Amino acid sequence: MSGEKKWVGQALERTEDRTLLTTGGHFIDDLTLSGVVHAAYVRSPHARAKIRHIDTSRALAHPGVCAVITGEDVAQSTRPQRGRVPLPNSPRVYAIAYEQVRYVGEPVVGIAAVDRATAEDAAELVHVDYEPLSPILDAEQALRPDAPLVFEEIGSNVLWHDTFPYGDVEAAFAQADTIVNERVTIHRYSSTPLETFGVMAQYEPATHSFTIWGHTQQPAQDLHVVAAAFGVSPGQIRLIIPPMGGAFGNKVRPLFIIAAALLAQKAKRPVKWIEDRRESLLALGHAADGIMEMSAAVKADGTVLAIKFRNIENEGAGIDFAGRHNLLMLSNIVNCYRLRAISYEGYSVVTNRCPVVANRGIGKPFMCFAVERMMDAVARALKLDRAEIRFRNFIQPDEFPYETPGGQTYDSGNYPEMLRKALARIDYAALQREQAEGRARGRLLGIGIATAVEPGGSNLSYGMLISGPSQLLSGQGEAARVRLETDGTATVFTGGLDSGQGHATALAQIVADELGLHIKQVRVATTFDSASHPYVMTSGVYSNKFHGHDTVAAIGAARKVREKLLKRAAALLEANVDDLELSDGRISVRGALQKGIGVAQVASRAYWSLADDQPDGEPGLEALHYYNNPLAKRPDEKKRLRVQLGFASAAHVAVVEVDAETFEIKVLRYVVIHDCGRQINPGIVEGQVHGATAHGIAAALLEEFEYDQDGQLLTTSFMDYLKPTAADLPDIEGDRLETPSPLTLLGTKGVGEGGAVVAPAAIASAVEDALTPLGIQIATLPITPSRLFDAVSSGMKRYERQKQNSEYRRQNPE
């Protein structure tokens, strides 16, 4: 294949859109089966309680009810969940609460009935006798030796704890002119896909097998989790995943699939369950809240030599993501900076909050918030400009590939140019003048600056840092199959999934280039089906992995098909393969252009004419390719590991104004300069940047899952859990930089998560800057007018999380 690209690089309209704009697409709730019944769940009203007794008799007797399951049934019929990363000391977790409830909203009883309303009616008739226990909600309190235990069987609330010294940290501190200390926290929030979680399960007793339509972002892993729960072969589970109405790392709850499958087994009918919004906010999953303490060793010129980190991650009452926020934070913890040494101590702690999931950027938003808050603090300590402190510490363009102390290798980038471009776009100097003039009149105008790496693709060997070297799951890769149809069009199947990123369009662009077809001649089978789509255990849509894995797998399969096609054409044309050219759906002989044959004609013979000589020894024009990223190895003996596999980056500059009386925060301008290497479809890329940035801005200013001291979630509707509307968000301006990755076939890097990683830090920086006249430092999120007002009114100098600790101190005086 020559390097020429006809389709890749163009901002083409998406192939997905016509369907979505006319028939609305085909989401899980649009599917049905004859005889299907509907599920509803009785959910725990307590954050922590023993289940003394459950009386389901009235629900069972209710007309239209087909099956009722409790934790007892689940514990009898399924095995406890194994976490994706198996813990050495794992609690027993089932699809439905067994003997105890551990968070408000945990499913306690599942009911299948002829329709959803009947199932909900029957749920009202279930009586559960609880013995409420005092909950543990705060991760720091959960670490105390006298803290109540969320899972008694593991003897503590710590799922995982480890330390990582990389480089000579003590030497760096000995050389330091100044030590800067910071403590920052991040809250619980989620990108809340507009389509809630859904599943439909069918059970076939004769073969003890299940067909399941539903949501996941890691189809192979979840298929195996479900198979393990029922003690059946993975071949007895067929998993079908229609396009999802957003996922953002949230749709990874195999326990929900197991519960529906068990209901289908008991009901002897297909069972469908579509989560409602309240259930989704209560129990689908949140980004982990966390507490980060940092200490930086700094030279007088602003060089940051080393930082010590200590992070406590609140996992809630789940085990599925144990340690993962921590490890993904750790692996990117030097961000864009030339730090020589770091140390990191991480705790993953269980509490009586909703289990956490991998919300957009998992761990990295807090990484960026913490490190960028620290850079602002260093600038303040040294009385340096916040842009200048970054320029003095950036990894320089000539240092790539750059190995970080923890063993990551940054492939390429130009961080100084990226920030320069962002500052030029916003006209930093003019804004600073405007700010100074405004301050004289009492105007609170702030400029926020944040930069970050945006990793793409994760090496799942990082789980070995938790579970040890015997863990089976490792590496990163993807699978693809390309079939040239008898009419000369192509169909692409991959183990990746569709949740709105336009992957079908991007794959069609790539494969059309490889096979010399028109983009309209390439279709992508977006509904994943484990019976037809190839997969590897790392398959799916997560971790920004598409750019360097799904793409390469599809290219690999397309090239195999191309080779088969050309061999067949050579035989038909009685020419040499090396003399053939493939373009515009036609194969011609170089130098004899009139001698040629249509791709459709060759393809047609490949399938129909089995009596032909078969150049490959087999009919058809179909090929499978498994791509295994060669960089994704196991951790070394010093726990150093290339966790993430490619590094995009971005600089954000935000301009905010805080109302001096009401503390309303307005984002006046927002600039993003991002660099994701070569772009397959700049239109799609731009949309990803906008959407992720909006998530980050909203996480910083609006969204929070707030619990009261009894563990009741206070934000269980979109009236309380505030999502941004079009009127709440600024226009997102920007431009791109393009430093191609040397590691991917197309020079691409990931792009789906970066905005959500950087924006919370940029907003915090901007609000802090606006509040300079009041001397308030921002150490937590979200920044809301009422809390800011309270902080300022009570004379506080830091906007930080205090509530839990002060309550704790009140209840437990020293």
Partner 1 sequence: MPENISITLHINGVKRTATVEPRRSLVDFLRHDIGLLATHVGCEHGVCGACTIMLDGRTVRSCLLFAAQADGAEVLTIEGLAKGEELHPLQQAFQQHHALQCGFCTPGMVLSALELLRENPEPTDEEVRVGLAGNLCMCTGYVNIVRAVRAAASDGKVK
Residues near partner 1 (CB under 8 A) are: 11, 13-14, 16-18, 20-27, 29-30, 117, 191-196, 243-246, 248, 274, 276-277, 499-502, 683-684, 686-687, 690-695, 717-719, 723, 725-729, 731-732, 755
Q: Are 186 and 326 in contact (CB under 8 A)?
A: no
Question: Which CB atom, from 31 or from 381, has the smaller least distance to partner 1?
Answer: 31
Structure token pair of residue 796: 């506080």
Q: Which is nearer to partner 1, 315 or 704 (CB)?
A: 704
**For residues 205 and 207, what is the distance between their CA atoms, to the nearest angstrom?**
5
The residue whose two tokens read 């731009």 is 686
Q: How far is CA 76 from CA 71, 73, 96, 262, 512, in A?
A: 8, 5, 12, 11, 51
Rounded Cα distance, 13 and 25, in Å: 16
- Closer by beta carbon to partner 1, 370 or else 713: 713
Query: What is the enclosing helix (H) or strand (E) of 763?
Result: helix 754-770
The tokens for 75 are 């514990």
User: Would you say 137 or 694 has its CB closer to partner 1?
Assistant: 694
What is the C-alpha to C-alpha distance for residues 398 and 711, in angstroms, rounded to an integer? 51
Dihedral angle, C-alpha 661, 667, 669, 671, nearest 10 °: 140
**Smallest distance from the beta carbon of 93 to partner 1, in angstroms?**
28
Specify the DSSP class assigned to residue 362. Answer: T
The least CB distance from residue 782 to partner 1, in Å, is 17
**Residue with Cβ nearer partner 1 (120 or 800):** 120
Asked if residues 459 and 631 have their Cβ atoms less than 8 Å apart, the reply is yes
* Closer residue to partner 1 in complex, CB, 309/542: 542
**DSSP classification of residue 423:** H
Q: What is d(CA 715, CA 726) in angstroms, rounded to the nearest whole number?
A: 21
Q: Which of 799, 784, 761 is nearest to 365 (CA)?
A: 761
Helices then strands, counting H and E runs in the chain, come out as: 22, 31
When the beta carbons of 19 and 76 are compared against partner 1, the nearer one is: 19
Token couple for 769: 């800057």
Closest CB to partner 1 among residues 608, 718: 718
Q: How far is the CB of 196 from partner 1 (least distance, A)?
A: 8
One-letter identity of residue 443: R
Q: How many CA atoms lie within 13 A of 326 on its CB side?
A: 27
- The alpha helices in 299-427, defined as continuous H runs, are 324-331, 364-382, 386-393, 415-426
Nearest to 66 by CA among 337, 281, 269: 269
DSSP three-state, residue 448: strand
Q: How far is the CB of 244 from partner 1 (least distance, A)?
A: 7
Phi, psi of 42 (to 5 degrees): -80, 130
Which SS3 state, helix, strand or coil, does residue 158 take? strand
Q: How far is the CB of 409 from partner 1 (least distance, A)?
A: 31
The region, left, alpha or beta by phi > 0 then psi within -120 to 50, assigned to residue 130 is beta
Q: Are 648 and 685 in contact (CB under 8 A)?
A: no
CB of residue 200 vs partner 1: minimum separation in angstroms?
14
Partners of 469 in beta bridges: none
Instruction: CB nearer to partner 1: give 190 or 629.
Output: 190
Q: How far apart are CA 619 and CA 753, in angstroms?
A: 43
Smallest gap, in angstroms, from Cβ of residue 261 to partner 1? Answer: 23
Write down the least CB distance from residue 740 to partner 1, Å.
23
Measure the CA–CA gap between 648 and 583, rounded to whole angstroms: 33
Strands 777-778 and 798-799: parallel
Minimum distance of partner 1 from residue 723's CB (angstroms): 5
Q: Name which of 364 and 695 has its Cβ closer to partner 1.
A: 695
CB of 693 to partner 1, least distance (A): 6
Residue with smaller CB distance to partner 1, 30 or 55: 30
AA identity, residue 254: P
C-alpha distances (whole Å) from 469 to each of 36, 345, 450, 464, 638 are: 44, 20, 37, 5, 13
Q: Pick between residue 717 and residue 806 the one whose CB is nearest to partner 1.
A: 717
**Nearest-approach distance from CB 62 to partner 1, in angstroms:** 13
Residue 381's CB is within 10 A of a number of other CB atoms, namely 16
For partner 1, give the closer residue by CB, 47 or 672.
672
Q: How far is the CB of 573 from partner 1 (least distance, A)?
A: 38
We find the least distance from the C-beta atom of residue 401 to partner 1, in angstroms, to be 32
Work out how close the CB of 341 gets to partner 1 at its nearest, in angstroms, rounded to a whole number.
38
Residue 705 CB, shortest distance to partner 1, in Å, is 16
CB 581 within 8 A of CB 587: yes
- Report CA 363 to chain centroid distance, whole Å: 9
Residue (463 or 755) nearer to partner 1, CB: 755
- Which residue lies nearer to partner 1 by CB, 440 or 726? 726
